[in-house]
């Protein structure tokens, strides 16, 4: 998610979780019992998952990019979606959420570094 000044919203991964203390984009785990396809229903599920998992109210707009990644024996797919943020993240603290410019990026995850930013930011 970007703000009017072109900054992107990052979230610090919580202690005890994968990629602890690294900064990352907002992401949610897709429900295992649902298939992924670009549709209004999918965008609705994405909105619900962001609300439930991260307390973010956003309007997903469209899928922009698919990234395939493997970690040990796990095959992972990241569906990158643009979205409009309706509320600021919960007040868990400044150290959890941060708006940053690209030239000020803190240490990030592999997923974050693999995104083709030109494809994500052309709107």
Residue 2 lies in a domain: no
Helices (H), 4-116: 40-54, 110-113
pLDDT in tens, 35-91: 777 788 888 888 898 888 888 888 888 877 777 878 788 887 788 888 888 876 655
Say which CATH number the domain at 104 has.
3.90.79.10
For residue 123, the model assigns a pLDDT of 46
Q: Which residue has better confidence, 8 or 122? A: 8
Q: Provide the residue range defining the domain that includes 12.
A: 8-120
Q: Which helix (H) or strand (E) holds 9?
A: strand 8-12
- 8 forms beta bridges with 2, 100
For residue 116, the model assigns a pLDDT of 56
Average pLDDT, the chain: 77
- The C-alpha angle 13, 97, 74, rounded to 5 degrees, equals 25
Cα–Cα distance for residue pair 88/47, rounded to 1 Å: 15
For residue 79, the model assigns a pLDDT of 81
Residue 74 lies in a domain: yes
How much is the average pLDDT of 22-38? 78
For residue 110, the model assigns a pLDDT of 62
């Amino acid at each position: 998610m970007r703000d009017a000044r072109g900054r992107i919203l990052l979230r610090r991964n919580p202690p005890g979780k994968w990629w602890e203390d690294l900064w990352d984009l907002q992401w949610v785990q897709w429900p295992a019992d649902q298939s992924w396809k670009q549709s209004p229903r999918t965008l609705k599920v994405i909105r619900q998952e962001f609300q439930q998992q991260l307390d973010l109210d956003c309007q997903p707009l469209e899928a922009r990019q698919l990234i395939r990644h493997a970690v040990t024996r796990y095959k992972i797919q990241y569906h990158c979606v643009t979205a409009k943020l309706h509320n600021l993240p919960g007040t868990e603290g400044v150290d959890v959420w941060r708006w940053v410019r690209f030239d000020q990026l803190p240490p990030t995850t592999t997923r974050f570094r693999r995104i083709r930013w030109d494809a994500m930011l052309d709107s």
